[in-house]
Structure 1
Amino acid sequence: MVRDASPLVFADRDEAGRLLGNEVARRLGHDHSRPLVLALPRGGVPVAVRVAARIGGDLDIVLARKIGAPGRPEFGVGAIAEDGPPVFDEGSLAYLGITADDLADVVNAERSELARRVRRYREGRPAPQVIGRTVILVDDGLATGVTARAALRWLRGQSPRRTVLAAPVCAPQAAQSIAADADTVICLSAPPSFRAVGQWYEDFRQLTDEDVAMAMRGFAHT
């Protein structure tokens, strides 16, 4: 699952994507089908561009949004992906003493933001067709794993042949817990001292919608 448990610090998402692409290519081995690489925007897009280029795959996105705790939006207690149901971290809900019903307004707000991003990022294109394909879901890092879990469960409902979750750096517990939702989990590094994804990048600047759109257009014309 994890190639190297020793800490790695990446210069930026571009470097992380190149290194991750090499490992994904090695792990796919003799899978001769043309894989579909799906990025989790925003941060997963530049990483996925490099992975798709390395393995000769198609590139698209899968939309997912974190569901933040009331009054603490940075603390993810769940996530939703595309038109799928919300996925919650039951341990986090219990810790905070709340239920899924308490988050109905947050879920509705995140669905509205998902719809906006679908329009912005896909620019009229339909959702990717994953039936019968090897699908590699890529993000720039895995903290709690709840957003990737929501995306993977949505993908499962689309009948892929194989699902791979790939990220340059993962919290050890997140990498372990998400293993049940993907056929293969690839993390280059799972440092015990993990606190946040940005801790493992020298350049972890915030990406914009235009950054995502430009990266997707650029890959389409390579």
Structure 2
Amino acid sequence: GTYAQLSTGTWLGILKSFNTNAYNEEVVKRLQALLLKQAELQAPRGAPKPKLSQGALDALSQQARADPVFLDALGSTTALGMWHNLERTPLTDESLVQDLPRDSQARWLVQALREGYIGDVAMAARESALEVAANAAADTLGKLREAVDSAAFGAKNGVLAVGPGSSMARVQEASVKAAGAVEALQAARDRFAEAGGRADGSADRGAWQAKLQELSLAHASAPAVAAELRRLSQSIADG
């Protein structure tokens, strides 16, 4: 509320007077919180709220630290006065600026956020949504495999029931959920690609392979673990 923003403004003013670095870091923290809110506002209705990865937040924070004019504006009384609205309204919404004078600090700040941050936030949010969808698909497919294994074992032993509670009923339930999750994953991939992202993971491939190599070296003396890691390595080669 208003009192909270006044208190924040007083605290930021004290920091700015006595410790510029501490002031900048406090403003960066507020920016991170705002960008997380904006990422959530990017989510389609009914979809899980996306999260920005720490890497994305770090990159955006470094960008802010390199722009003292922007940081100063972000910690100003003008920014504090409109902060609640910034947290609740997508930065692309014209209502944020429609009543603001063209040469006002408030309009400049919204434009700076739009031009310098919202594109990266939107892309990071879509990437997060893609990761959530991929994890959900992997989970449901894993449960489908478990259900199929159970039904196959039963069938080999003459258990061929199809009624409620049977292994085949579990296969049916798991297959419906898996199909829905795979469809949702494809939709997330399409949205990510439409926004200009590379849904093949090429941007992260180097880091992914480096981590896999690190794990392979660490567990080379454990044959069972090493075999699973080789299988994981083959998955990206096949892709």
TM-score (norm 2): 0.20
**Richer in strand (by share):** 1
Q: Which has the higher contact order (CA 8 A, sep 6+)?
A: 1
